[in-house]
Structure 1
């Protein structure tokens, strides 16, 4: 009983991680994968989740072993490592935040049954997220996302088994499947894996949230409990990715209908995937769950970049500044710049999402190597270091990520 209580107290960072993942990568990219290619991409979703796993796990492991976040580990390996992380995050964070917020705006428009300008709606969402985080901090975020996550998990599983029961739609006459191994197909494949389950550079967030949770629990650190929490969240994200792909494959593949680049229309299409399986009565319930899912992703992204980049800036440039001040300032900056990106790129949802996800995959091998370097360093006591099987999986993951990043560059620039 005491062990069970300790596990429940440790729950939190893994749910935040799952909430970050189950957004664009699942609702948008996994659904697109099923709608456009059927089940052809299942193996790539499985491989991306498998080979990225060690590098996310290392973030939680580092926090449990040291009581500090992974950014401190980067600094101890050399200031250049933290500078590298800073540059990568600086390039990606505005686009990533813009992509998830723009999808969320479409979900909210769909839920309310209005056609409000999605750019302005995105601005309101970013403003609301920033205000909630400033007022409620980690504890409110932790509690809110546990509720939202439960709603999403149940509704998605119900819809998944519902479409399995109804069976796949019959393809329209003359349906021609899209070719996967051509230029556009390979580019989409890389974009899909870029955020499957999410970008590798977000592994620092695991460690930051784990440290915050330890503070919430009076500073208690337990490797077994922290990894249990992380693994629970990671398994959920992997399973739901396959569920969303199945929804797309069963309901849209062969229908002749394409997922829209308009965020509001796209949102209606996604919600309709559920109602096709469950019936029209489920539309408002699923619309609420879908919006809640994307909102949870947006608020965790704003929080994650606020914490990680705020701490990075403090370490590199403003040691004398208060960590909370840096966190608040960075959140405001990220939200403001994301709004500008949306205003500039909002004409095409798919392009905005693909830009963010593709960049994440191209830089993934670099971040993965840094995480491996840190977790195998002298910073980590021997009893906290990865087991041989995890080291082997990490090395295999480095090869996998590097190979596909090279393939993407060849295809994009030479084909």
Structure 2
């Protein structure tokens, strides 16, 4: 593989990883370990494996056709693109709100913003919204993104060090009266669904990966080989998958059975996560870890704002302005403003209900995952991308298992929640 050409390819996979390593890892994986020990580790590994093909197909389709998955959904029929558009509208405000409130928690923990205006509890969230939308409106995201990727590497190395030291030191001593939670009761089942929703991230975000691949090709004027694009994506995906295991381990070894209860507020939870690092590495590392964790969450927040706005921009042009030469930048800005206003309203409504908002957003993502999985699988048939680029037999087998897995759990959730 030619390194000079590979450098032109690298980017979308790293951006995927930096977006994925957010709520699903810092919050959900840590909660899984802290509340259930290693009981959910198998679920996390299986989910990462069974969702992998449908993310990979986004890269495969974009490389083979030079188009995004959204363009592909149009080829599957107008009802498909409409369903995706409506599903995006239904979920984007909750997902963006959830990411923003977690980001605000890490920002508040680092800068103590809530102490500036104690009576205005939404102040840290307002700052996150201003920074996220401002970076995209002013076109400064590229500079910030480069910095976030660098800090993301620091967080990755720090997490790896804590993971290794945690394994060496072994689990913390359990309380004598400790009794583990039941993963098979209704609360446990509902948490499992929420955990799988964003493991390693929401499946409907596979469209973003195809958008980033297409944009990378345009910006570099270089069309990578399929092998180069897949190398970039696989690197980012499996780093994100591995880090989810690291966070589960940290929660299981350092919190599970100790009597420590993770706070329900976003700022308190952020402080507890950072304490997992400092208690293992040393207090001297607090500022480094706090900055790295906040930065990776800010990168996730900006990535979510950008991803949903691009999806709305692209799908709106296909659905409402197919023949017109509309101003894409204008549609993007309008989409970004709508997303910000709607998400902020959700955030204000759920203020103080940090855990419930996270579980709701991740559950919504899981319930729509089977639809996205089926559509992505259909688009990598030779009818759409040619025989050379179609996935191998083992990927097709994992796809069938993944669709069955996602559909089965989605139906089980509906039964538990509404029919039982």
Please give the range of the TM-score, normalised by the shorter of the 2 chains: over 0.9
Is 1:252 aligned to 2:255, yes or no?
A: yes
Is 1:404 aligned to 2:409, yes or no?
A: yes
Instruction: Return 390-399 or 323-332, whichever deviates more.
Output: 323-332
Instruction: Return 87-96 or 405-414, whichever deviates more.
Output: 405-414
Matched residue, 2:96: 97
* 8 A Cα contact 2:54 2:373, kept in partner: yes
Is 1:189 aligned to 2:188, yes or no?
A: no
Matched residue, 2:232: 229
The equivalences for 1:43-58 within 5 A come to 43-58=42-57
Matched residue, 1:35: 34
Q: Distance in 1 between matches of 2:145 and 2:259?
A: 41
Matched residue, 1:75: 74
* 8 A Cα contact 2:152 2:296, kept in partner: yes
Structure 1: runs of 5+ lacking an equivalent: none
* 8 A Cα contact 2:36 2:183, kept in partner: yes
* 8 A Cα contact 1:214 1:220, kept in partner: yes
* 8 A Cα contact 2:114 2:124, kept in partner: no
* 8 A Cα contact 1:119 1:339, kept in partner: no
Matched residue, 1:392: 397
Q: Distance in 1 between matches of 2:340 and 2:186?
A: 34
Matched residue, 1:277: 280
* 8 A Cα contact 2:145 2:299, kept in partner: no
Matched residue, 2:177: 174
Matched residue, 2:293: 290
Matched residue, 1:110: 109
Matched residue, 1:301: 304
Q: Distance in 2 between matches of 1:139 and 1:367?
A: 29
SS at match of 1:333: helix
Q: 2:330 aligns with which of 322, 325, 338?
A: 325
- C-alpha displacement at 1:241, in angstroms? 0.1
Is 1:358 aligned to 2:326, yes or no?
A: no
Q: Distance in 2 between matches of 1:224 and 1:140?
A: 28
SS at match of 2:384: coil
Change (3 A) 1:141 1:315: farther
Q: Which string of whole-angstrom CA distances, capped at 9 and with x for unpartnered residues, describes residues 231-257 of structure 1?
A: 000010100000011111111001112
- C-alpha displacement at 1:142, in angstroms? 4.7
SS at match of 1:382: coil
Is 1:207 aligned to 2:210, yes or no?
A: yes
Matched residue, 1:157: 160
Matched residue, 1:339: 344
Change (3 A) 1:246 1:372: same
Matched residue, 1:312: 315
- C-alpha displacement at 1:141, in angstroms? 5.6
Instruction: Return 363-372 or 125-134, whichever deviates more.
Output: 125-134
Structure 2: runs of 5+ lacking an equivalent: none
The equivalences for 1:118-129 within 5 A come to 118-129=121-132
- C-alpha displacement at 1:177, in angstroms? 0.6
Instruction: Return 239-248 or 107-116, whichever deviates more.
Output: 107-116
Change (3 A) 1:342 1:334: same
Q: Which string of whole-angstrom CA distances, capped at 9 and with x for unpartnered residues, describes residues 250-274 of structure 1?
A: 1100111221111111111111111
Matched residue, 1:61: 60
SS at match of 1:28: helix
Q: Which string of whole-angstrom CA distances, capped at 9 and with x for unpartnered residues, describes residues 166-210 of structure 1?
A: 221111120111000010000000100010011111110010000
- C-alpha displacement at 1:143, in angstroms? 2.2
- C-alpha displacement at 1:407, in angstroms? 1.4
Question: Please, what is the CA RMSD of the aligned residues?
Answer: 1.4
Instruction: Return 106-115 or 19-28, whichever deviates more.
Output: 106-115
Instruction: Return 89-98 or 118-127, whichever deviates more.
Output: 118-127
* Equivalenced residues, count: 414
Q: Distance in 2 between matches of 1:165 and 1:74?
A: 49
SS at match of 1:197: coil
Matched residue, 1:413: 418
Change (3 A) 1:141 1:87: farther
After TM superposition, the score normalised by the length of structure 2 is 0.96
Q: Distance in 2 between matches of 1:120 and 1:257?
A: 28
Q: Distance in 1 between matches of 2:314 and 2:151?
A: 28
Q: Distance in 1 between matches of 2:226 and 2:147?
A: 25
* 8 A Cα contact 2:122 2:348, kept in partner: yes
